A = this chain, B = another copy of it.
Amino acid sequence: MVSTIPTKVSFKAQMLLAREDAIIQSVNRLLAEKGFEAMTVDEVAADVGIAKASLYKHFPSKEDLAAAAMVSVMRRAQAFLNALPAEASAMDKLRSVVTWTMGLKLAGEMPSLPSQNSSLRITLMGNTDYMDGLMDVSDRLGAWIEAAQTQGAINPKLPPIAVLYTLYARACDPVLEFLKMGELYSNDEIIALVLSTCFEGLETR
């Protein structure tokens, strides 16, 4: 039994995962484009190229679709953190992470969820994959923040939690899209500008 069935099971499982990946990719893009409320399940189904009922066989609700997209982004973030050079300073790592998240946002790959929606919050906080990823990322960023403060790179008077929130907020900063709409600056220039205001502030140094 072990010798005959595995390949077939594995193949089917692979197809299933591939389809779910396609779904998540569509959800991710649509969430970045229009946000959670404006995205409809019909759109997702049409974008993936399957029927809506089939979609509900994979994910039990619209909220779970969004959660899956967030888990996906969280995994990408973890992979990015893992790939950072170990010899870099805590400050450099933090700057790299923020640069990466802003790039994701400008590329239209950062899903945007309303922080108010309660049913979505409940689904997200009940999703252990998402919560574990969030905790892991927060812990690692938190450690770098405290290290940077000890080294005198980040203002030690700021509570680490406030710094963490400030960094997270750059991933959904409306300044990015406003500057992009103006069409005066390239994506790299926009990232450089916002990175500068974030770490160095508006005041002259």
A115 and B203 contacting across the interface, CB-CB below 8 Å? no
* Inter-chain contacts of A37 with B (CB < 8 A): 37-38, 114
Chain A 151-168 near chain B by CB (<8 Å), digits 1 or 0: 011111111011101100
The docked-state distance in angstroms from the alpha carbon of A194 to that of B200 is 14
* Inter-chain contacts of A196 with B (CB < 8 A): 155, 157-158
Given A193-B162, A199-B202, A203-B199: A175 touches B169 (CB 8 Å cut-off):
yes
A204 contacts partner chain B, Cβ-Cβ < 8 Å? yes
In which size bucket is the chain A interface?
35 or more
A154 and B115 contacting across the interface, CB-CB below 8 Å? no
15 new A-B contacts at CB < 8 Å, known A114-B114, A155-B201: A35-B116, A38-B114, A38-B116, A38-B117, A115-B174, A115-B177, A155-B202, A158-B202, A161-B182, A162-B193, A166-B202, A169-B173, A172-B174, A199-B203, A201-B201
A-B contact pairs, 19 of them (CB 8 A): A33-B116, A34-B116, A38-B114, A115-B174, A153-B203, A153-B204, A154-B202, A155-B196, A155-B202, A159-B184, A161-B182, A161-B184, A162-B197, A165-B174, A165-B175, A197-B201, A199-B203, A200-B203, A201-B203
